[in-house]
């Protein structure tokens, strides 16, 4: 959640952030009113409790009618205190419920607008001219069939639409990419992690995935657990309710996990292939840093993501996501979009978000300073998401016969293979 002090002292800043996101501006005034009710209820409760304590000291010293009157008053006070305490709890819950609905404050540099109003920061590499090379490129579905790498039909037979099997060289390719991503993340000081993929509501709520993103989340109702859509969730919650030493920061992790997404609202979008699926594997980088270092860490994570795609030799671009397309927790987000030849456009393959202190406040992640404790800043960045990375590699490095060249940096993780050969 945002800093309550900012809300009290500069509500116009919060209103402007909500407006830029396309979120409710009126919510700010609702929260301010709820906070006033909470403060009033606390004052009323404390006043009654004070009177109750004073009365408790007077009763033993009283006698006769005076004592009877004090006892009657004490009985009434006990009921009033109980009512005031319930009112205080209710006001606090209402305030917390509304505060959780306010999104993180958007950074000033974030572009205005919605999904299509991003700003392109850089373009790297030149898309291949397949016409000049004399052949029509196959899409990843056809290449997956030719290589024996992807089986979508059996995925649908067993699990339904938007599921798949990676087979043979396809499975080996995913494992190679995972190992390459983890190896690179470790070189930046990230501790490799395999976190749980089922988490409690507190972890999901704390990272901001039970707000606007709730419709994309799978929940196991019987167990009151959620399937994560990214290992960002268990990594963020790893230090939940802990106070870290300042010299521990930055803490950097690289978590490998499956990611589950309902893809609600995507009916009719990317129905062919493995561009948009209900499950994929991913390596996610996650950092806990001093808030003053958050912007610099954001640039570092973006640079690490760019290095990965440079090594894969795939054309890509970097975009600055517009305010109206940010997730609830993100103050700013950069995406890398890889060129997909058969679609003739760039598609998102990684993102990195600066969540400032928003998630840490919800999850209770703090660190000690000379002046007490502060909430840490959290940042996340996708080192590699398997399905779209596989799509980009197959389509950009294909040959006329359906074979695929393996990028040099990936070859050591794929048993030294320099080329993926079509099935006979």
Give the model confidence (pLDDT) of 63-74 as tens digits.
Answer: 888 888 888 888
How many other C-beta atoms can be found within 10 angstroms of the C-beta atom of residue 300? 20
Count Cβ neighbours within 10 Å for each residue of 190-214 and write b for 16 or more, e otherwise.
beebebebebeeebbbbbbbbeebe
347 contacts 388 by C-beta, under 8 angstroms: yes
Question: Residue 397 to residues 123, 193, 410: CA-CA distances in angstroms?
Answer: 18, 31, 13
Given the residues 16, 30, 348, 421, the one annotated as active site: 348
Q: Report the topology of domain 119-420.
A: BirA Bifunctional Protein; domain 2 (3.30.930)
Sign for the CA dihedral angle at 261, 264, 268, 269 comes to negative
Given the residues 21, 38, 138, 261, the one annotated as active site: 261
Architecture of the structural domain at 4-99: Orthogonal Bundle (1.10)
Strand, helix or coil for residue 226: strand
Q: Which residues of the chain have pLDDT under 70?
A: 265
Given the residues 252, 351, 357, 366, the one annotated as active site: 351
Given the residues 19, 145, 276, 374, the one annotated as active site: 276
106 contacts 20 by C-beta, under 8 angstroms: yes
pLDDT digits (tens, 9 = 90+) for 168-227: 999 999 999 999 999 999 999 999 999 999 999 999 999 999 877 788 899 999 999 999
Q: What's the pLDDT score for residue 282?
A: 96
Query: Pairing mode, if any, of strands 345-354 and 366-369?
Result: unpaired
Domain boundaries, the chain: 4-99, 119-420
Q: Is 362 a catalytic residue?
A: no
Strand, helix or coil for residue 324: helix
Q: Which of 310, 338, 337, 312 is nearest to 404 (CA)?
A: 312
Q: By 3-state DSSP, what share of the chain in percent is helix, strand and coil, each rounded to 5?
A: 45, 20, 35
Q: What's the pLDDT score for residue 388?
A: 96
Q: Is 388 a catalytic residue?
A: yes
Q: Is 261 a catalytic residue?
A: yes
Q: Is 276 a catalytic residue?
A: yes
Residue 282: which H helix or E strand, with range?
A: strand 279-289
Q: Would the pTM of this model clear 0.85, i.e. be above it?
A: yes
Q: Which of 190, 233, 14 is nearest to 103 (CA)?
A: 14
Given the residues 162, 362, 366, 388, the one annotated as active site: 388
Q: What's the pLDDT score for residue 370?
A: 87
188 contacts: CB under 8 Å, gap ≥ 6: 252, 285, 300, 304
How many other C-beta atoms can be found within 10 angstroms of the C-beta atom of residue 26? 10
114 contacts: CB under 8 Å, gap ≥ 6: 22, 322, 324, 325
Task: State the Cα angle at 239 between 237 and 245, rounded to 5°.
Answer: 155
364 contacts 351 by C-beta, under 8 angstroms: no
């Amino acid at each position: 959640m945002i800093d309550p002090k900012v809300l009290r002292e500069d509500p116009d800043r919060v209103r402007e952030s909500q407006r830029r996101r396309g979120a409710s501006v009126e919510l700010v005034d609702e929260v301010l009113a709820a906070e006033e009710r909470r403060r009033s209820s606390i004052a009323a409760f404390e006043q009654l409790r004070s009177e109750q304590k004073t009365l408790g000291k007077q009763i033993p010293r009283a006698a006769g009618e005076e004592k009877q009157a004090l006892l009657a008053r004490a009985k009434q006070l006990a009921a009033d205190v109980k009512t005031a305490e319930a009112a205080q709890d209710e006001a606090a819950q209402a305030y917390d419920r509304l505060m959780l609905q306010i999104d993180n404050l958007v950074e000033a540099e974030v572009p205005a607008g919605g999904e299509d109003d991003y700003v392109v920061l850089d373009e790297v590499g030149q898309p291949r001219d397949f016409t000049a090379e004399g052949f029509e490129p196959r899409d990843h579905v056809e290449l997956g069939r030719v290589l024996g790498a992807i089986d979508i039909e059996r995925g649908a037979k067993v699990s339904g639409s938007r599921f798949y099997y990676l087979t043979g060289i396809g499975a080996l390719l995913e494992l190679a990419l995972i190992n390459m991503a983890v190896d690179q993340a470790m070189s930046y000081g990230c501790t490799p992690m395999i976190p749980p993929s089922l988490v409690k509501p507190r972890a999901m709520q704390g990272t901001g995935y039970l707000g606007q993103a709730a419709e994309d989340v799978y929940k196991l109702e019987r167990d009151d657990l959620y399937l994560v859509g990214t290992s960002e969730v268990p990594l963020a919650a790893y230090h939940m309710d802990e106070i870290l030493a300042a010299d521990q920061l930055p803490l950097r992790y690289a978590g490998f996990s499956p990611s589950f997404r309902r893809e609600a609202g995507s009916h009719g979008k990317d129905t062919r292939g493995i561009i948009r699926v209900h499950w994929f594997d991913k390596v996610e980088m996650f950092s806990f840093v001093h808030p003053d270092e958050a912007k610099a860490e954001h640039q570092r994570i973006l640079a690490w993501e760019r290095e990965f795609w440079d090594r894969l030799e795939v054309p890509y671009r970097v975009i600055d996501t517009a305010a109206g397309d940010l997730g609830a927790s993100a103050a700013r987000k950069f995406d890398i979009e890889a060129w997909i030849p058969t679609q003739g456009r760039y598609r998102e393959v990684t993102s990195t978000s600066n969540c400032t202190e928003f998630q840490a406040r919800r999850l209770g992640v703090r660190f000690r300073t000379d002046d007490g404790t502060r909430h840490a800043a959290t940042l996340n960045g996708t080192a590699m998401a398997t399905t779209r990375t596989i799509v980009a590699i197959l389509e950009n490095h294909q040959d006329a016969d359906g074979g695929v060249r393996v990028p040099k940096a990936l070859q050591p993780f794929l048993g030294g293979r320099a080329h993926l050969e079509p099935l006979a």
